[in-house]
Structure 1
Amino acid sequence: MIDDILNEMLKYLYQYDDYWIKNRVSNELRRIIEDLLNGRAEVIVRRTESSLIIAVRGSHVTLEIIRNRDVIVQILNDFPGTTMRIPDVFKEFVKNRNRYEELAKMLLAAKLGLANTDEGENKDKPRMRTTRLWQAVFWALLYPGDVYISIKSINVNVEDVTITWSFTANNHVSYKENALKIAKDLDEKTLLIFLLTSILGDGYANAYLRRSRLRARIEITVNAAS
């Protein structure tokens, strides 16, 4: 099942690469950088709370330079995404009805944790954008059915190059607005799963000694719907 998802992503990546080569995007990107350095480029500047973003738009690609993070983001303007069919692997493997009902509660808690942090929404549908391959696959398995995938950007800095994947679950409704409200009714076991996926999504956990006792510290960043 996981191999199927990875193969679909790889197939889409090859299509992305073909588009890049066929439309000579590298040459266009080189011209954009030269124009930017020589003051010939038409520049769009916007500010966020944490950084300044400079964007230059070409025919096939948009180049974004993010100040304070030393990141160049390359976005293909008109390259479409694709839809892949995600099987309900959990239902296929757990045949016993009572066990599946228990598992469904755990899966809901996992969804709520991600919805509470990293996850966004697209027309009330769950959407995940991530550079982490494990998170993309895990998230897709939580939302069986039609999942629309696309490459949001290619991110370049002095250390590495990453791909930002965007996944939208077309057959589901987002929990983004009500995740915390629903989480209040979780039992002890499912609450731990909620905390785990919240931490994995956009959180931090650490253990420290206080008065000779080991205590846990958990910090979670709750992102607004986007």
Structure 2
Amino acid sequence: MMRKNETNQNPPSEGGNQKQKEAGRANDVANGSILNNEGNTELNEYNEYREVLLRRISKFKDMLFVESPYNALIRDLENWVYSARVIGNSNNEWEVKVREILYKIGDRMLQLCRQAREEWFRVHYGELNKLFEGLLRSEVRVINDKRLVLRSENLTITINRIKTRKVTIRLVLKGLLGVNIRVPKLFNGYLRRATLSGWVLSDEGRDRGRPMMFTAYTWQALLWALVHGGRIHIRIYAIDINDDGITVIWQLRAGHKRISKDSAIKWVVKFNDEEFTNFLFFFTLGDGSIDIKKQRIRLYIYKRGLEQLIDKLRNYGFIEEGDGRLALYTAKAKGLAKKWYNMWGIVIDALSELKDAEKLRRIKTLAMLD
């Protein structure tokens, strides 16, 4: 992998004393010995963020200081790519074609993860260690009392609050340039309009007029690349340290011009039932949730100017629940999930094998309910 900047930081040796030392230091934080030595019992915004970061670093010290943040994803992708390969003896030509394309994309993503793991121990590991030490000495930069930011040459840590209580921690990694791949265009006509509209009106962004996506889900990155087709740029953008684990953040950019929100709305309001069902599948994958226990499909309308879409959803049977939420329940929800699985079952089955594809597995489960 090409890098913008080089560094003289030496990687820690496998199983060396440095890894054990840093893991032990993080463990001291978990036990409270380092925090107590600071002697500051008054927690303001800064100290709260600082404590959250220290606690999470200590919680995942093995993944950060002994293994790497990429190991779990590498294992998952290795298993998945193997399964995508062995499906080649299927009698379903369409399934074979879809699997082959997904395997090609997944294999390149796997290569990026392996290269990023090398860079972690060569560069980012050492810089995280320095920032960790700087945090203990209070050598940080605070912006507007809303974010706590620590920067080094190739690594930026941002601690931020969203909503009322949730605190997010993101490690942005510099120098990982990614790869360009060519993805065959499988979808044309109304199907392409329906799929692209679903992304545009949910959580897809744009970069210089091109479609762009940040995602923490490997399955979503694969599906986004499959649907867009053409030249796709993929790179690892960041690592999120959450309460429940460490997540790799992907950034994807397509080479074609992005359709506008206004154009997407014009298409959607004219879609027939089949077209709108396809659109709903991709909109839900972006800004929706599936609840098996309540037999519910819920959509979240966050973007402005989508009144026409809301009207069409009402006519389709969705119930408004306030705060931009609309939902289908029981028979209607199961009926929609069945339509989705009939249309996209091959893709759902292929991607459901990834560990992070819980939403796809829930769609399949909902579709199978009586």
Q: Shorter-chain TM-score: what band?
A: 0.7 to 0.9
Counterpart of 2:229 (choices 131, 144, 149) is 144
Counterpart of 1:77, as a letter, is K
- Displacement after TM superposition at 1:176 (Å): 4.1
1:31 pairs with 2:130: yes
Deviation of the 1:218 alpha carbon? 4.2
2:139 alignment partner, one of 24, 40, 55: 40
Q: How does 1:120-159 map to 2 (within 5 A)?
A: 120-159=205-244
For residue 46 of structure 1, report the CA deviation from its aligned partner: 5.1
Structure-2 change in CA distance of 1:186 and 1:46 (3 Å):
farther
Whether the 8 Å CA contact 1:198–1:220 is kept in 2: the answer is no
- 1:193 paired with 2:293, answer no
What residue in structure 2 maps to residue 95 of structure 1?
Answer: none
Cα 1:177–1:46, aligned 2, differ >3 Å: closer, same or farther?
farther
Structure 1: state its 5+ residue gaps. Answer: 92-100
Q: How large is the RMSD of aligned CA atoms in angstroms?
A: 2.5
Structure 1: distance between partners of 2:180 and 2:251: 11
Gaps of 5+ in 2: 1-100, 305-370
1:83 paired with 2:177, answer no
State the distance in 1 between where 2:142 and 2:234 align: 27
Which residue number in structure 1 is paired with residue 25 of structure 2? none
After TM superposition, the structure 1 = structure 2 runs for residues 65-214 of structure 1, keeping only pairs within 5 Å, are 65-67=159-161, 68-88=165-185, 90=186, 104-170=189-255, 172-178=256-262, 179-204=264-289
Q: Is 1:56 the equivalent of 2:141?
A: no
Kept after mapping to 1: 8 A contact 2:176/2:237: no
* More displaced 10-residue stretch of structure 1: 125-134 or 78-87: 78-87
1:180: Cα distance to partner?
1.7
TM-score by length of 1: 0.79
* Distance verdict in 2 for CA 1:46–1:201, change over 3 Å: farther
Q: How far off is 1:7 after superposition?
A: 0.4
> Is this contact kept in 1: 2:207–2:253, CA < 8 A?
yes
Q: Which amino acid aligns with 1:65?
A: I
Structure 1 residue 44: Cα displacement:
4.1
Q: 2: CA distance between counterparts of 1:10 and 1:109? A: 29
Match of 2:121 among 15, 21, 38: 21
Structure 1 residue 217 displacement after superposition? 6.8
Q: 2: distance between equivalents of 1:194 and 1:120? A: 17
SS in 1 for 2:175: coil
Distance 1:137 1:70 in 2: 28
Code of the residue aligned with 1:2 in structure 2: it is L
Whether the 8 Å contact between 1:118 and 1:223 is mirrored in structure 2 is no
Alignment: residue pair count? 200
Q: Residue 78 of structure 1: CA displacement? A: 2.7
Residue type of the alignment partner of 1:14 = R
Tell whether the 8 Å contact from 1:119 to 1:176 is kept in structure 2 after alignment: no
2:303, 2:227 → 1: CA distance? 20
CA distance in 2, matches of 1:5, 1:46: 41
What secondary structure, in the 3-state scheme, does the structure 1 residue paired with 2:181 have? Answer: strand
Residue range with higher mean Cα deviation, 182-191 or 66-75: 66-75
Tell me the equivalent position of 2:328. none
Of 8-17 and 60-69, deviating more is: 60-69
Distance 2:289 2:266 in 1: 22
Aligned partner of 2:208: which letter?
K
Q: TM-score, normalised by structure 2?
A: 0.50
Q: Distance in 2 between matches of 1:72 and 1:121?
A: 24
* Superposition deviation, residue 223 in structure 1: 4.0
1:133-172 CA-to-partner distances (Å, cap 9, x unmatched) read 11111110111111011112101122111111011001x1
Question: 2: CA distance between counterparts of 1:16 and 1:78?
Answer: 10
Following superposition, the deviation at residue 202 of structure 1 comes to: 0.8
